[in-house]
Structures are given as C-alpha cells and as structure tokens.
Structure 1
Amino acid sequence: MFANDPSKKISFTRFIRDQDLVIVYERHDTMKAVKVCEGSILQNRFGVFKHAEWIGKPFGTKVFSNRGGFVYLLAPTPELWTLVLSHRTQILYIADISLVIMYLEIVPGCVVLESGTGSGSLTTSLARAVAPTGHVYTFDFHELRAASAREDFEKMGLSSLATVAVRDIQGQGFPDAYSGMADSVFLDLPQPWLAIPSAGKMLKQDGILCSFSPCIEQVQRSCETLKSNFTDIRTFEILLRTYEVQEGKLDGGCRGDEGVPLGALPCKRRQRSSEGSNVPENSSSTVVMARPCSEAKGHTGYLTFARLKCIS
C-alpha cells in the first residue's frame, strides 16, 4: 500500500509537452491554469495564442499572439497553483503553508496524513515536500470534492505522491491500516478534537500533528484534548503584510522631514536653496516607491502544533 510505482515518479521535465498543465501569466494578479492541447487556442485581451506553438518550449517562455500581445508560460508549482485553483472550499495560502511544512518537519520520504482535502492547496505543497519517495494520504468526506482533487493531482503529475480517499475522519477516524505509519498528520476540520485521538494512533513515535482552525474556541477545545497524549503544544497566527514596489513622482505623496516622499528609493541628491532649506534636485523625476498593498490579507486561521508523547 505504501510503495510508490517507480514508473510514475514526478516529472521534472522543463519543456512543455502536449497535455501538460501550464500557468498562463498575464500579470501578477491575472493568471490561469491551461491544459495544453495541440489543436486548441487561448483567446484573451492580448489576442489569439495557438497551443501548438507552445509545445517544445521551456517553461518560463514569453509567447506572442497573432496581434503581438504576449503572455508567459509558467510551470504549475504549488505556489502558483494555490493562486489559480478552483476554490471548492476556503484554502490555505503560502504564509500558512510554509509554516505547516516547517513545523511538521516534512522532508523527502515522509508519510503524511491529511484531513480534509478541500481544494487541494496544501496537498500539492505537501506532495512536493515528500517527493520523490514519500507519500501524502488525504481524506475528504465529500465525494465530489475528493474526485475533483484527484483530477487536479492527475493534471499536475502528482498522482504517484498523493492519494485521495473519501472518509469522514471526524466520525470514523483514520483507517487502521495507517496505524503507526505517519510521520505527521494535518487536520482541517470543524471539530478537530474528535479526530485527535485517532491521529495520535497513526503517528510514529515523536510524530507531529497540526490542526488548522479559523476560531479561537476551536483551538481551545483542541488543546484540551491534545494534553492527554501530546506535548510541546503551540499555536500561531500568521499575518502577512505585502508591499507594492513601483515607480512614482517625487512631487506627490506623503513627504518626510526633508521633503522626500516616504518610501522613495533611492534618495535624490539635495541642494541648498537661496533660502537655506534643503530641496531635492530635479524634484519631478521618477523614483522607485514602496508602500503597503491597499488590500492586505488579515486573519486566515490558527495553526496548532503538538508532538506525540514518547512511551517509555
């Protein structure tokens, strides 16, 4: 059950082939996943792009339309997939995912159990982290959602690394076949405390569990349950602040003590005016500006980690 098929190992080929999944990049906030089909076309505001012209080109290539417009063809990495996937459920984003993989101590060869699968955002990153010899076994109680996730993993070439099954982990627990086999367990459930006893049975000695919950009340109840068989219990909330870097004029915006816009890089040479004050030379010139994004993402959820107690 836990052996991987060597004929289906993840491919690291960097050239686009027919039936490959590519991420079509128009700009940082406009991307889409496209399956390459030799006889198909992509039509957008930049013109018409023939898939046949993409085949054989390396990922990252800039391709042109019939009207001279262009897009970039990027490899479907877990980071990009998180930004373009279909949201069947609320998903985990890169900031939370990175902490999950680090604190679960996931390395190549690990066996990871996950519940629930949802839209598969985390699963793709887990699969890459355990590659090429590990495996992710992910469960969702919703049959159609599990089927959609299975199709997505097939498109991305992750079928040999991630197995999707339909099961109500809260009500039934994890299958006994995985008892003592998991290096780590991840729970994204409305009542994670119901699954924690089963998760403890699945973990190897010194294994680690992570539970993601949007509400602090869920965290409190989960921690109470964890105390019996787990130690080193910690909860984190990740708040990410992104900055926009773009060109701007020196003669506008908020200014500091010396008349230069806050965040302007680099500082312009200043000269002393006839009145004796410092003024920027060529104040209407263009400089690089940095400012926080207007749409900052706030609270996503709480991540609770705990290590299984060793039995002496």
Structure 2
Amino acid sequence: MLEEGKIAEGDYVLLVHKNKSWLVKVKKDKKFQTHISSLDLSELIGKEYGYKTKDGLYYAFKPTLIDHVMNFKRETQIVYPKDAAYTILKLNIKPGSFVLELGTGSGAMTAYIANFVRPNGKVHTFDVNEHYIKIAKENLANIGLAEFVEFKTFTPEIKENYYDAAFVDLGDPWKLVEIVWKALKPGSVAAFLLPTYNQLEKLYSSMEKRFFPEETVEIFIRRLQVAENRTRPQNFVVGHTAFLIYCRKIV
C-alpha cells in the first residue's frame, strides 16, 4: 500500500498544463494523449500530488470536488460552483443536516450538498426522469458520496416538517411551493433556481402566503489576469447562469 498523499493506480489526478486541465484515472501502462504530448500514466504511480512530469509539461494535482463535478457525465445543465457555494451558506447546510432537493439532474448540486451534510446527514433528491437519476447515482458513486444521498422518483408524498433546508431546480417551481412548505421545518430556508425573469415573477406571486422572500440574486465571477505592471480583468466573464431566490418558511 502506498503512503497517504501519494498517487496509486485507480486514483484520479488533475493533469494541468498552463491554463488547461484534464481529469484522468491513473492506470498502469495506459497512455494519456493530448495535442501537447503523450504521457505514460505509470509514471505517476507512487509520486506525490503536485508532481511535475519528466517531460516538464504537466503537474499532477489531487482533484477537488469542483474538479470532479465539472467533469461529471451529464445530459442536463448543472448548477455552477459560484451559485452552489453561496446557496449552501444561505441554506445553512452543515454536517447532520437533512436536505430536500427537487430536481436531481446530473447530480452536481446533489454532490455539493452531500459533501457538507456528511457523515450523519442526508440528501433526499427527487427527479421526474429516471434516466437522470441513474446518471446522478453513477456520478456520486464515482466520488464516494452516494451513501449520503437517497435518490427517488418524484412523488408528492414527501415527509412533512422534516427537512432543515430545500433546494429546487425544476421548470415549474410555483407548482411545488406547497410541497416544499410542508416538507420544511418551521423557519427553515428554501432556495429556488430559475433561468428567466418571467419565472422569477411568477414564483414570487405564488409564495407570498407560505414564504418570506429574503433575497434574490444573480452571481457573477470576474477573474483577473495577473502579470507585473499588466494586471487586468480577463476578457471572459462568468455571467448569467441563473437567478436564485432564498426564502424562509412562515407559519
């Protein structure tokens, strides 16, 4: 057995070359091929994370949760890290939390939440599409988070006054307001993700008797290109991905 912190066969590594990166599973005698070069992955076995390959072209880093999620198999749009991070803080998700998710998709937000509720919390995630649930299960199993999630086909029969928080990412969220309200413990926070202003307005008008709308946001990331005497914003801005409504259950 290799020492902790060293790369073993079967581990995932993030290979980085300048501003490009690839998530790769290490296998003995397997070649990793890009337009840059060919790398024998056997070279990485037994090396520490942060290792620079012999040809000097790649660094091998330990992948973060974001690295894994952004490389998930997917057939749906995912919740981006900028939206997920703020949402987890707004929902006060922590170890031991029980969280309701309506709209599993490919499991991106499911993975982020599961990472925070473990080891003794749980995510109960529902979707109307069994194919998406299958993909999400595989994605979370690959990164060791599936045990903190219960995957279910959507049903209106959801436990009442049970959940510490709720996250909703489905096309007609105004139809789910009553279900979410019943499922949450009094005073708990729900987050609804929507792509358009029209949906935002329709949801607002449908929740006024059940939730106190605390905050509605759109989150941007502005990255910088740093060089001595030439630091400036990058040309590409991570802009609109979704609008987010955070609201508290009222009784």
TM-score range, shorter chain: 0.7 to 0.9
Between 199-208 and 54-63, the greater mean CA deviation after superposition: 54-63
Partner-residue secondary structure (3-state), 1:183: strand
2:170 alignment counterpart: 189
Q: Is the 8 A contact 1:85 1:119 kept in 2?
A: yes
CA distance in 2, matches of 1:14, 1:111: 32
Q: Is the 8 A contact 2:23 2:67 kept in 1?
A: no
**How well do the aligned residues superpose, as a CA RMSD in angstroms?**
2.2
Partner-residue secondary structure (3-state), 2:193: strand
2:111 alignment counterpart: 124
| CA separation of 1:60 and 1:130: change in aligned 2, threshold 3 A | farther
Q: How far has the Cα of 1:134 moved from its partner?
A: 1.5
Between 42-51 and 204-213, the greater mean CA deviation after superposition: 42-51
Residue in structure 2 matching 1:302, options 217, 234, 243? 243
Residue in structure 2 matching 1:224, options 205, 210, 213? 205
Partner-residue secondary structure (3-state), 1:180: coil
2:40 alignment counterpart: 50
CA distance in 1, matches of 2:5, 2:204: 44
2:7 alignment counterpart: 16
Q: Do residues 141 (structure 1) and 82 (structure 2) align?
A: no
CA distance in 2, matches of 1:294, 1:79: 23
User: Structure 2-normalised TM-score?
Assistant: 0.88
| CA separation of 1:289 and 1:143: change in aligned 2, threshold 3 A | same
Question: Structure 1 stretches of 5 or more lacking a match?
Answer: 1-12, 247-286
Q: How far has the Cα of 1:189 moved from its partner?
A: 0.9
Moved over 6 A (4+): none
Q: Is the 8 A contact 2:187 2:249 kept in 1?
A: yes
Q: Which amino acid in the other structure matches residue 122 of structure 2?
A: H
- Equivalent residues in 2 for 1:136-215 (5 A)? 136-167=123-154, 172-173=155-156, 175-176=157-158, 178-215=159-196
| CA separation of 1:69 and 1:163: change in aligned 2, threshold 3 A | farther
Deviations 1:136-183 (A, max 9, x none): 22222222222122111111111222333333xxxx43x43x332211
User: Structure 1-normalised TM-score?
Assistant: 0.72
Q: Do residues 236 (structure 1) and 217 (structure 2) align?
A: yes
Q: Do residues 96 (structure 1) and 96 (structure 2) align?
A: no
Deviations 1:11-62 (A, max 9, x none): xx6443332333222233x222222333423122343333333233333333
Q: Which amino acid in the other structure matches residue 224 of structure 1?
A: S
Partner-residue secondary structure (3-state), 1:145: helix
CA distance in 1, matches of 2:208, 2:193: 17
